[in-house]
Amino acid sequence: MTQGVLHGITILDLSMFIAGPFGTMLLADLGAEVIKIEPPGGDPVRSNKIGAQVRGENAQFHSYNRNKKSLVLDLKSAAGLAVFDELVESADVVFDNFRPGVLERLKVDHARLAKINPAIVSCSVSAFGQDGPWAKRAGYDLTVQALGGGMSLTGHDSSGPAHIPFHLGDTAGGLFGALGLLAALAERHRTGKGRRVDVAMFDTQVALLGDEITNYFATGVPSPPHGAGHPNFFPYQAFATADEAIVIAAVGVEKYWVAFCTAIGRPELAADARFSSNASRVAHRDVLEPLVADTLSRKTRAEWLEIFADADVPAAPIQSVAEAAASPQTVARRMVPKIDLDGTTIAVAGNPIKVGDDETAYAAAPVLGADGPAILRARLGYDDAKIAALRADGVIG
């Protein structure tokens, strides 16, 4: 097993919940040493008793904290802050997802840390960033999805908006945070100086709107809810079959539309001038969509998928989480690895970044404070007596 492309990079991870831990987990998967510095009592997600439990902790904690080490440290105490300062001297990154102002109160803000280690990179992922009128507001995955415009596009006219349930507000924040700190590390390689990276979860939602922003300012017309399709493309949506729904994406190049019409036994649709281009198909959607829907309702999902595969028409089933996890492509790409947890096997979502022939190693999320003594001995040279004294004073867990 290789060490990973980020071997030698040390990240002091002050983040909790999802956004920060997701970003640092990706970096840990790639070989960085991520030391999760937890307050006494640990990351609150550990003790959340609602939902699936693993090792007496919430399964969500294990979803976003693999491959890390845990050190319990009371940063509110002078002795705890002194230990943290010593760790900063040889670290590369300090990562947090606190509200603006918290770092200054804890005395772990970038301005102060840069005096200890000018090469340190600090990365903060917060709901609204370090400035602007909303900076100090509380924010969560759901609220940034709503404020960022994305929820106006999801759902259906009949049922109203729907949020994306796999924590897109949080995970996008963590992902952009990881990207930003890697850029800062690349610059430090040239200059020897660290930087402060500021990522707002709200900003990431606006950034991910992409062409929706461009389309709106080009037309002045807001996009309606997209449902299971897209208003600017046809056929590019879900359709009912004789049993289960299917998605068709026969757009992009006209050969797909022609192949689709042939495959469903309706070649006359491809020859009809009203449907000769994507623009004309969208303009005549009210006529064309019922014709396509009626045809697709006559065979089962499995029958259509076989037909479309043979015709090279982009189509897919709408898989459940269980089906997606068990699919042959998922297995081939090693995207649902198994982790041994004290004799119990758990499955996690894998890292999608593949680097050369490196195999990603997946280790269980750390037990609260389990790595503290080893970290203090190896990185700071503390002896057992000093560690015992810090523990007795409640500085470390």
Domains of the chain, by residue range, sit at 10-208+331-392, 236-318
What pLDDT score does 344 carry? 87
What pLDDT score does 1 carry? 53
Task: Please report which helix (H) or strand (E) contains residue 364, including its range.
Answer: none
Closest alpha carbon to 150 in 203, 208, 201, 236: 208
Which CATH superfamily is 236-318 part of?
A: formyl-coa transferase, domain 3 (3.30.1540.10)
The interaxial angle of helices 78-90 and 372-380, nearest 10 deg, is 60
167 is catalytic: no
Catalytic residue among 163, 226, 230, 284: 230
Q: Answer left, alpha or beta for residue 4, where phi above 0 means left and psi between -120 and 50 means alpha.
A: left
Judged by DSSP in three states, 134 sits in: coil
Task: Please report which helix (H) or strand (E) contains residue 293, including its range.
Answer: helix 285-296
Summarised one tens digit per residue, pLDDT across range 216-238 is: 999 999 999 999 999 999 999 99
Q: Which amino acid is at 61?
A: F
From the first residue on, what is the mean pLDDT of each consecutive set of 10 residues in the chain (397 residues)? 90 98 98 98 96 95 98 98 98 98 98 98 98 97 97 92 95 98 98 98 98 96 94 96 98 95 98 97 98 98 98 97 97 97 92 95 96 98 98 95
Q: In whole angstroms, what is the distance from residue 135 CA to residue 198 CA?
A: 12
The tokens describing 86, both together, are: 């010593």
CA distances from 268 to 195, 261, 292 (A): 61, 8, 12
Judged by DSSP in three states, 198 sits in: strand
Summarised one tens digit per residue, pLDDT across range 315-353 is: 999 999 999 999 999 999 999 999 999 888 999 999 999
| The CATH fold of domain 10-208+331-392 | Rossmann fold (3.40.50)
What pLDDT score does 263 carry? 98
Give the count of alpha carbons within 13 A of 35, CB side only: 25
Q: Which amino acid is at 321?
A: V
Q: What is the value of pTM for the model shown? A: 0.95
∠ CA 308-311-317, nearest 5°, is 20
Beta strands 68-72 and 33-38 are parallel
Q: In whole angstroms, what is the distance from residue 127 CA to residue 125 CA?
A: 7
